[in-house]
Amino acid sequence: MVQFFLANIFGKGEMVTKMENTVVKERIKRLREEMAKNGIDYYMMPTSDFHNSEYSADFFKVREYFCGFDGSNGTLLVGRDDAKMWTDGRYFIQAENQMKGTGVELMKMLEAGVPTISEYLLSNMEKGQVLGFDGRVISTSIGEDLEKKLGTKEVTLKIDKDLAETVWTDRPLLPCHDMYVLSDDLCGKSFKDKLSEVRKKMQEYGTKTYLLSKLDDIMWLTNLRGNDVECNPVALSYAVITMDSFTLFVQEKEITKDVRTYCDKVGITLKEYGDVLQYVKEMKAEGNILFDKRNTNFITFKVLLDKVKKEDLRLINAKDPTEDLKAAKNDVELKNIREVYLRDSAKLTEFIYWVKNTVGKEPVTEYTAAMKLDSMRAELPGFIELSFPTISAYNANAAMAHYEATKDNAAEVKKQGLLLVDSGGTYMGGTTDVTRTIVVGDLSDEIKKHYTLTVCGMLRLANANFLEGCTGKNVDILARGPLWNAGIDYKHGTGHGIGYILNVHEGPQNIRWRFTPGQNEAPLVPGMIVSDEPGVYIEGSHGIRIENILEVVGGVENEYGKFLHFAHLTYAPIDLEAIDTKYMDDSDIRALNDYHKMVFEKVSPLIRDEAVLGWLKEATREIN
């Protein structure tokens, strides 16, 4: 699944105003009463849960409750007399419609003349005033930035109040679903072994206590899973690790009997999720405390800071040691991943056959196509859930980043053009992610050119050989090169890491080209898995993306060093109807033929339907 570069929520925009919505107006009125009670002049509501997860549950939709706008990116700021909501260009029209009559002004991020939130606060807040927000839903970097900037005006922050708690009377509950235990056999490594690796890293950092806030890292480390974030099999949790204890903070109600038995057995002390900060304040820290600023919310950071100051310790801000350990999959994980990807690929192959043989005969919309694929995937053994909501986008819709077809707005798929489908599942054995763009009818020469160049890029990266030490930056140009040569780019990363029975986006590795000064890069190491997903997006016309998942594999080791390369995990046909060989080099044609040969060899044994098999044979035929 593609990772777009989001405009920062604190980016610039342009102002707009509108008309009347008494429900929202009443909510804001009550919010202002709470603000007054708490001495807060401005109250800020961003889009995040307590762990900066990719998806926020209904409980966290405070911004939506107070302004009506339900897009995936937006920050609402309510003052004593005004209310403003910042969002990015994808949502300008939607936000204007949804906020009509609420009195909330739309702030168009990144448009000329529109201040960022911090710029706005800086010019409108006065000495002695107070900015409030729930410090659990603001990242440490944004919190520190606001504190520093507003500090120059003697504005203070109040971060320990979630005002929605009082005002939002019918608020959904904090997500709370049963946790479950994965067997050591399935994980390839026990909690105990993982923990001793983490403790070794803690020692290297000179720390004796470690607060881990990142949900997928906690799940990886404990071999537990949950279901509190959409499409991410994680439980809301924190972990406090010392040299002789491991305390896991989760909601009491999520702890099944199995989970409790397991935790007792492996030495995990269970405590209530909501008590973590109080625990941190009171716990006896025997040495410096490790945490990762990138993954810790602002109030947790402030509690830690306060603690180390009081107790004359040091706070060590370093990359969560779990990140690298989790990223390079172990042999058991890899074995399971390979199997799961093969079954997932075969299912996708059957879906492609279904699309090609149904469009034009029966009504198909983007939405029904997605439903079809989702239900096919659910039949696979060990299916847990989708790894992200399936993206199914027809022709021009596929050119829109973050386009999401709903039952009501979905376009009908006709016998013309392309259907882009980006999808994946989480199974007992791995998390998958794959994109194919399927030819459903006639294509222009330009579209064939774009499709062919995208395929060349995907395969060139997949066939790379490189020395150990290389990062995604070194190899990104292999995927982008064919498009760059044609003056085309895609405004998203080429690749991201993927979890094992976990989140579809995980670090530290990625494949991108742009340098961020001061940021260190993560080398690709054997066992990492990474997506390879170039694309072309032509507004109003078409969108193409081809995504395979690759495993990093060790190769020749000689006097020059250790060479690495990739192995495909995804085996699904690439649509030859959209290929024009005049845009390919010999080696590109060979690469496509070699790939298709493997697809047929690996996938055909999993296909039972003779018709599908016959089609697959043809769909993976050698071209020249």
Where on the chain is the footprint of a copy of itself (CB under 8 A)? 464-467, 469-471, 473-478, 481, 484-485, 487-489, 491, 513-515, 517-518, 520-521, 523, 555-556, 558, 560-561, 563, 585-587
Least spacing, CB of residue 479 vs a copy of itself, in Å: 11
DSSP SS3 for 247: strand
CA 412 – CA 366 distance, rounded (Å): 6
> What DSSP character marks residue 139?
B
Smaller CB separation from a copy of itself, 481 or 507 = 481
Least spacing, CB of residue 413 vs a copy of itself, in Å: 27
Least spacing, CB of residue 460 vs a copy of itself, in Å: 9
DSSP SS3 for 600: helix
CA 619 – CA 593 distance, rounded (Å): 11
Smaller CB separation from a copy of itself, 299 or 564 = 564
Smaller CB separation from a copy of itself, 2 or 411 = 2
> What DSSP character marks residue 54?
S
Least spacing, CB of residue 419 vs a copy of itself, in Å: 24
The first and second tokens of residue 181, run together, are 């235990």
Smaller CB separation from a copy of itself, 113 or 518 = 518
- Helices 331-358, 610-619: axis angle to 10 degrees equals 100
Beta bridge partners of 209: 242, 289
Smaller CB separation from a copy of itself, 562 or 597 = 562
Beta strands in 73-193 (DSSP E): 75-78, 83-87, 105-108, 130-133, 156-158, 180-181
Cβ-in-10-Å burial (0-12, 13-18, 19+) of 515 comes to: exposed
CA 20 – CA 343 distance, rounded (Å): 53
Smaller CB separation from a copy of itself, 183 or 587 = 587
CA 1 – CA 423 distance, rounded (Å): 7
Smaller CB separation from a copy of itself, 405 or 530 = 530
Smaller CB separation from a copy of itself, 19 or 560 = 560
CA 28 – CA 208 distance, rounded (Å): 46
CA 414 – CA 412 distance, rounded (Å): 6
DSSP SS3 for 81: coil
Smaller CB separation from a copy of itself, 269 or 587 = 587
Least spacing, CB of residue 525 vs a copy of itself, in Å: 14
Least spacing, CB of residue 434 vs a copy of itself, in Å: 25
Least spacing, CB of residue 471 vs a copy of itself, in Å: 6
Smaller CB separation from a copy of itself, 16 or 553 = 553
DSSP SS3 for 553: strand
Smaller CB separation from a copy of itself, 279 or 484 = 484
Least spacing, CB of residue 435 vs a copy of itself, in Å: 20
Least spacing, CB of residue 524 vs a copy of itself, in Å: 12
First to last CA, the chain: 31
The first and second tokens of residue 292, run together, are 């990762």
> What DSSP character marks residue 463?
T
Helix extents (H) in 328-444? 331-358, 366-378
Least spacing, CB of residue 536 vs a copy of itself, in Å: 10
Q: How far is CA 138 from CA 6, 151, 494, in A?
A: 17, 17, 28
Instruction: Give, in degrees to the nearest 5, the angle at Cα 184 between 254 and 502.
Output: 55
Closest Cα to residue 367, out of 406, 417, 395? 406
Least spacing, CB of residue 323 vs a copy of itself, in Å: 16
Specify whether the CB–CB gap between 372 and 351 falls below 8 A: yes
Beta bridge partners of 465: 565
Smaller CB separation from a copy of itself, 84 or 492 = 492
Least spacing, CB of residue 542 vs a copy of itself, in Å: 15
The first and second tokens of residue 432, run together, are 């998958």
Closest Cα to residue 232, out of 174, 175, 301? 175
Beta strands in 199-297 (DSSP E): 209-212, 224-225, 238-242, 246-250, 269-272, 289-291
Least spacing, CB of residue 96 vs a copy of itself, in Å: 24
